[in-house]
Every structure is written in C-alpha cells, then in structure tokens.
C-alpha cells in the first residue's frame, strides 16, 4: 500500500462483533485482530481510520435506529466506546467514521428533514461521547445515502444543509460517479457542504466499480480506456481541490456483485481471487498511485499530476521550521526511465535507474545542500529536509526521464 502512495488505511468495523445488537456480541479475538492491523499500518508509517458498518448483526433496520425506541443509539455508542478507549492513546489512529452510509428506506420523511431532525442530533450525541474519551481525534461524518432512483444530478447522497457545530470534524462523503460530466458539479456541492460544516473534505470512498468484462476489454463502453479517462478526470478534480481520498477495497476478487446492467462487477483493485491480491488492475492502480505531495512543511498552494506528460506540478509556501516534507513519486510505475526534480529552475536533480545511485546533481546554488533531498526507493518517496527558500512561494516540478545535460555547471 505504501508503494502505491497510501499514507492511511480505513478499517471497517463490524457492529456485530462490538455490540449487543441482535446476533452480535463483543469478541476479544476480533479486537486483537484490529490491534494487528493498526500495528501493521504503524510499522509502515501509515495512519488508521476506523469506520463503523452494520455488518455481522442479524438485522439492522434504519427506521428503528432513527426512532431509537429500544435505546439503539446508546447501544451503538457503547460499541464505539470499545474502540475509542482502546485507541485513545494511539497517535497513529487518526479518527473515526462514525456512521457509514446512513439510509432512509421506507420512512415517510424528506431527506432534508431526516438529516436535520435525526442524523445531525445523532452525530452530535456520538461526537460528544467520543470527545469525552479522546477529544483530539478526528470525527468523520457522511450524508444520507439516497434510495435508488432518487439521486439529484447523478449524486446518490443527500445534501447536508444543517451545521453540526462540533470541533475536529472531517466531511467524508462518497463518490461513485460513472458520468464524467457530473464529477465536478458533485464535488462543488461537497465543497459547499464542507464550508457549512466547517470541516475539511476527505473523500471516504470513490471509484465506480469495474466489470468482469473490463479486465479483457480495452475500448468500448465498459473498456479500460473509458475507465482510465473517468478515473483520471476524477483524480484531477480531487487534486485541484486539494482533498484527501480513500480508494475503497484494497483487495482481490473474492467475489463479484451482479446489481449493475453491465454484469458482474467489483470494487477490488486486484483481479486475482485471494483477498491479499497481487495482480493489479493497472487501469485503476496507475491512477490512484499517481505522484502527489504527501506531507508538506508549510502550505500547499496547488498541485496536479498530468497523466499524459507524467508531470507533477506543485506550488507551496514552505516553512522549514515545521520539519520534513514528503512527495510520493511512484517512480517504479510512472518513471521507469528515471525522473528529474526541478525546484524554481534553481535546483535540478535527477534519478538514473540504470546507475541506481540515488539522486545526482545537475544544478544547485552554492548556499543550498542538495543532500537535503533524499530519494527512498523502498517507499517510492522523495523526502525534503529543507527547502531552498523559506516562507515564500516555491514551484516544484517532477518530470520523466533525465534531462539532456550537455555541459557541467560552475555551481556546486
């Protein structure tokens, strides 16, 4: 996952293994398994987000849950409290996605009223309970998943029009958009909701499912070229907005679902049958594993990876006092011919895969040590210990190949 650019994992919690909902009970072995997953992420330098699902219970009726006549809200919060208490002191656990894809089904109520009268008060209740245990953790919130056929502008998620008025919120909507012209309008609406909630956006799930036939079909309606175009446009909108994203289902094809007109489909990004997949669907993974600024000491002004030219452009305002910056490059897939790093045209370093000797210097001013730039081929990351400028705009460009270096420079 790290070599594909991931810096966070989402672990889906099963309500049936954490609560007393019908058919469920707290399982000690399950908690140990969660500990292992958190530790694996921590050892790889990754953060963890927990997401509660209603898996593992005999039945979960959303209408009953909203009415709360059997004190379902408290039972739900008690399930979360097991997790909150267990990881309150674990700094790599970033936060909690508290209700996954809440729904209306048959309830005779508008989506606006369901959100304002039921969902938001529930969120406030859960968030207050969470912050009583670990106030520094982030709380991720979603919107109502609308019934099929009731989407607006091809968006299946109801608009949030009521603020939550709580701290440490992250707005984590999902987007499974298959119509390229609707990607930007959907994200613009999410941006408006983000402002209302006073919460940054982390796209909690994205990526329209792929069909079984797509693995062997290049062109056509369900072909790989169309998927690449759709995913590339989605990634461009994400990056231009500067939002974090989670591509759902880092798995192999354990099963196919058959609820779409195109036939059997899956969200898995590996095509082999085992859960720990190894055979990539490269028409998906090459997009999600695109180069991007992963951690910047300072402020990111803008960034965008051009898939056609394989060029990453980043504009930042660095603050060297805040520590190390990291850019994910993904050279093993995007730059097999090597890459060059250009910083304001003042610093030019390159990586030659034939020499396999780290970064070489073509151009660098005398007052900057090029060893401040460190290439890690294992994690596929470029670490910047210090930028040539501090607290003023810096432009960084990552380009494929090695520049046609003709003459050595007199500079260091």
- Model confidence pLDDT, tens digit, residues 123-168: 999 999 999 999 999 999 999 999 988 888 889 999 999 999 999 9
Considering its fold, how many domains does the chain have in total?
2
Q: Is 17 within a domain? A: yes
Which of 153, 179, 206 is at the close of a domain? 206
Provide the pairing of β-strand 311-318 with 394-400: antiparallel
| Residues 159 and 306 reside in one and the same domain | no
Q: Is 410 within a domain? A: no
| Per-residue pLDDT, 407 | 47
Q: At what angle do helices 72-87 and 120-133 cross, to 10 degrees?
A: 30
At 346, list the tokens. Answer: 């003042």
The larger pLDDT score, comparing residue 412 to residue 55, is at 55
* 234 φψ region: left (φ > 0), alpha (ψ -120 to 50), beta (else): alpha
| Per-residue pLDDT, 153 | 81
Q: How confident is the model at residue 412 (pLDDT cuts 50, 70, 90)?
A: very low
53/96 Cα distance (integer angstroms)? 12
Which of 158, 177, 206 is at the close of a domain? 206
Exposed e or buried b per residue across 322-336, where buried means at least 16 C-beta atoms within 10 angstroms of its C-beta: eeebbbbbbbebbbe
Q: Is 165 within a domain? A: yes
Q: Is 65 within a domain? A: yes
* Separation of CA 41 from chain center: 15
Determine contact, residues 292/382, Cβ cutoff 8 Å: no
316/311 Cα distance (integer angstroms)? 16
∠ CA 7-13-15, nearest 5°, is: 165
Residue-averaged pLDDT of the chain = 94
pLDDT for 339 beyond 80: yes
| Per-residue pLDDT, 251 | 86
| Residues 184 and 312 reside in one and the same domain | no
Q: Is 330 within a domain? A: yes
| Residues 192 and 310 reside in one and the same domain | no
**Cα–Cα distances in angstroms (integers) from residue 125 to residues 77, 278, 311, 411, in the given order:** 9, 42, 46, 62
Side-chain-side CA neighbours of 408 within 13 Å: the count stands at 5
Q: Of the ranges 238-242, 251-255, 369-373, 406-410, which one carries the lowest mean pLDDT score? A: 406-410
Three-state DSSP class for 167?
coil
* Separation of CA 40 from chain center: 18
CB contact set of 63 (below 8 Å; sequence gap of 6+): 105, 106, 107
| Residues 86 and 197 reside in one and the same domain | yes
84/90 Cα distance (integer angstroms)? 10
Three-state DSSP class for 139?
strand
| Residues 59 and 184 reside in one and the same domain | yes
| Residues 49 and 177 reside in one and the same domain | yes
| Residues 15 and 164 reside in one and the same domain | yes
| Residues 11 and 122 reside in one and the same domain | yes
- Is residue 149 exposed (0-12), middle (13-18) or buried (19+ Cβ within 10 Å)? exposed
Q: Of the ranges 36-40, 146-150, 201-205, 320-324, which one carries the lowest mean pLDDT score? A: 146-150
Share of the chain above pLDDT 90, in %: 88
Q: Is 332 within a domain? A: yes
- The secondary structure of 325-370 as a DSSP string is EEEE--HHHH-TT-EEEEETTTEEEEE-TTTT-SEEEEE--TTS-G
Determine contact, residues 98/139, Cβ cutoff 8 Å: yes
Q: Which helix (H) or strand (E) holds 47?
A: strand 47-53
| Per-residue pLDDT, 149 | 84
CATH number, domain at 31? 3.20.20.80
User: pLDDT tens-digit profile of 360-389?
Assistant: 999 999 999 999 999 999 999 999 999 999
| Per-residue pLDDT, 404 | 55
Q: How confident is the model at residue 1 (pLDDT cuts 50, 70, 90)?
A: very high
Q: Is 374 within a domain? A: yes
| Per-residue pLDDT, 98 | 98
Which of 153, 176, 206 is at the close of a domain? 206
pLDDT for 84 beyond 80: yes
270/282 Cα distance (integer angstroms)? 9
pLDDT for 77 beyond 70: yes
Domain encompassing residue 337: 298-400
- Residue keyed to tokens 């402020």: 299
Provide the strand spans (E) within 194-290: 202-206, 210-211, 244-247, 265-266
Q: Of the ranges 249-258, 304-313, 320-329, 341-350, which one carries the lowest mean pLDDT score? A: 249-258
pLDDT for 299 beyond 80: yes
| Per-residue pLDDT, 406 | 43
Q: Is 69 within a domain? A: yes
| Residues 182 and 315 reside in one and the same domain | no
| Residues 197 and 303 reside in one and the same domain | no
Helix and strand numbers (H, E) in the chain are 9, 20
User: pLDDT tens-digit profile of 267-285?
Assistant: 999 999 888 889 999 999 9
Provide the pairing of β-strand 202-206 with 244-247: parallel
């Amino acid at each position: 996952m790290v070599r594909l650019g991931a810096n966070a994992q989402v672990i889906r919690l099963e309500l049936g293994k954490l609560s007393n909902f019908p058919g469920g009970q707290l399982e000690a072995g399950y908690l140990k398994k969660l500990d292992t997953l958190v530790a694996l992420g921590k050892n790889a330098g990754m953060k963890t987000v927990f997401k509660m699902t209603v898996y593992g219970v005999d039945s979960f009726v959303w209408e009953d849950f909203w009415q709360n006549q059997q004190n379902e809200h408290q039972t739900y919060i008690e399930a979360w409290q097991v997790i909150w208490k267990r990881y309150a002191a674990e700094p790599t656990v970033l936060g909690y996605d508290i209700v996954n894809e809440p729904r209306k089904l048959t309830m005779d109520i508008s989506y606006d009223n369901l959100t304002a009268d039921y969902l938001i008060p529930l969120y406030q209740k859960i968030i207050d309970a969470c912050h009583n245990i670990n106030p520094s953790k982030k709380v991720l919130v979603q919107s109502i998943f609308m019934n099929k056929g009731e989407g607006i502008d091809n968006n299946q998620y109801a608009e949030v029009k009521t603020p939550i008025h709580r701290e440490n919120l992250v707005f984590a909507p999902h987007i499974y958009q298959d119509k390229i012209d609707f990607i930007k309008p959907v994200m613009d609406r999410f941006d408006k909701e983000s402002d209302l909630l006073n919460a940054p956006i982390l796209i909690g799930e994205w990526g329209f499912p792929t069909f079984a036939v797509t693995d062997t079909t290049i062109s056509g309606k369900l072909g790989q070229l169309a998927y690449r175009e759709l995913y590339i446009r989605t990634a461009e909108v994400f990056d231009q907005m500067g939002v974090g994203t989670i591509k759902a289902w880092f798995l192999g094809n354990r099963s196919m679902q058959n609820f779409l007109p195109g036939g059997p489909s899956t969200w898995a990004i590996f095509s082999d049958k085992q859960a720990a997949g190894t055979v990539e669907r490269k028409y998906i993974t090459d997009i999600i594993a695109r180069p991007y600024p992963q951690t910047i000491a300072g402020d990111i002004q803008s960034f965008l990876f051009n898939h056609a030219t394989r060029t990453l452009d980043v504009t930042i305002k660095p603050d060297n006092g805040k520590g190390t910056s990291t850019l994910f490059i993904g050279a093993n897939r995007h730059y097999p011919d090597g890459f060059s790093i250009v910083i304001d045209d003042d610093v030019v370093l390159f990586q030659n895969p034939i020499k396999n000797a780290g970064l070489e210097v073509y151009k660098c001013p005398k007052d900057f040590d090029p060893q401040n730039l460190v290439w890690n081929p294992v994690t596929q990351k470029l670490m910047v210990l210090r930028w040539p400028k501090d607290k003023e705009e810096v432009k960084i460009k990552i380009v494929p190949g090695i520049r046609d270096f003709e003459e050595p420079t007199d500079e260091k």
